[in-house]
Amino acid sequence: MNKTIYIGELALNVSLCADGHADTGVGDWAVNAAVLDGQMGLPTIWVGEAADGTVGDHIIDYLRKANVGTDSVDRFSEGVSPVRVFAGNDKSTAVDHKDYPKEPVNALWPRIDEGDIVVYGSYMALEARNHSRVIDLLKHAKSRKAYLVYLPYFEWHQVPRITRVMPSVFDCLELADLVVARNDEIAAIFPDHDIDSIFKDHIHFYCPRFLDLEPAAKIMRFFDGDKSWTKECHPSDNTDFQWSAGALAGIVRALTEGKRDADEIMEYGNETAHSELASAISHPCIH
């Protein structure tokens, strides 16, 4: 069976609630998609970094309990893993408490075989400290005939000026076989454009295939060259966060099984997005 390799940031999220208690959750929607893939029995590996300390141990334990391999997570000792604190469920109030080493991530890269799926995104793929290291791994994966999926997203407080990271975004787009994005995040990267224009004017030149996820409307839109498909997904009580993580997990599962047809990929995403497995994700980031 083909395996999935996720590359991205690992953080602990803390929501300070009005009644005085705090909710916590590990990682973003990509981390939780990897967790769902691991729970579904897909060979899944995370590549990233986590401090050798209490927070890092908690993050690693969360991944391992879901059968996600962590041998390629760099456990650095000089610094601390990011703790992302925000008020209630309002991500606009987020403040990061972190201390990364000055050196780039020094993970043991996993073996990459033909047909493996490599999913990459978050600020880790863009920041100056790690961008070249991540691009080198992606080029190696490409040469090994892996299938590359780029998730263009990051936390907005990490990038006060989008123009500073756009060259790195384009680097990541250029290596992708498929781009998957949530509609609000891709629209924020390319403002003042609708989804059709974003694909035509900004993505298609670099990557001919793009899957747009609209969690609030429970809709998926797949663009492939000059063709596009829209799928209205099952009604679901899952939060937007749960739905997004589930959709991505299902999309990745389809790709590991060799599915390349747009309808099949979206149907796998649809089924996992509204599943009980996705609804079991406990996370303070409800968007």
- C-alpha 121/C-alpha 134 separation (Å) is 10
**Residue 223 amino acid letter:** F
159 vs 116, residue with greater confidence: 116
Specify the pLDDT at position 90.
64
Mean pLDDT of 261-279: 96
CA 5/CA 146 separation, integer angstroms:
10
Q: Which of 40-54, 201-215, 253-267, 273-287 has the lowest mean pLDDT?
A: 273-287
Q: CA separation (Å) from 117 to 3, 143, 179, 255, 262?
A: 6, 13, 13, 7, 16
The answer for residues whose C-beta is within 8 angstroms of residue 96's C-beta and 6 or more apart is 11, 82, 83, 84, 85, 155, 157, 158
Would you state the pLDDT for residue 113? 97
For range 223-251, the mean pLDDT:
96
Amino acid at 161: R
Q: What would the pLDDT profile of 53-88 be if each residue is shown by its tens digit?
A: 999 999 999 999 999 999 999 999 998 898 988 776
* DSSP 3-state of 13: strand
Over pLDDT 90: what percentage of the chain? 78
The pLDDT confidence band at residue 95, using thresholds 50, 70 and 90, is confident
Is 287's pLDDT higher than 50?
no
Residue 92: band (very low, low, confident or very high) from pLDDT cuts 50, 70, 90:
low
pLDDT of 286 > 60? The answer is: no
The CATH number of 4-279 is: 3.40.1190.20
Which residues, other chains included, contact 216 with Cβ-Cβ below 8 Å and sequence gap of 6+?
240
**Which of 118, 127, 128, 129 lies closest to 151 in space, CA to CA?**
118
Mean pLDDT of 97-121: 93
Average pLDDT over the chain, rounded to whole? 92
pLDDT digits (tens, 9 = 90+) for 176-227: 999 999 999 999 899 878 999 999 999 999 999 999 999 999 999 999 999 9
Averaged over 110-132, what is the pLDDT? Answer: 95
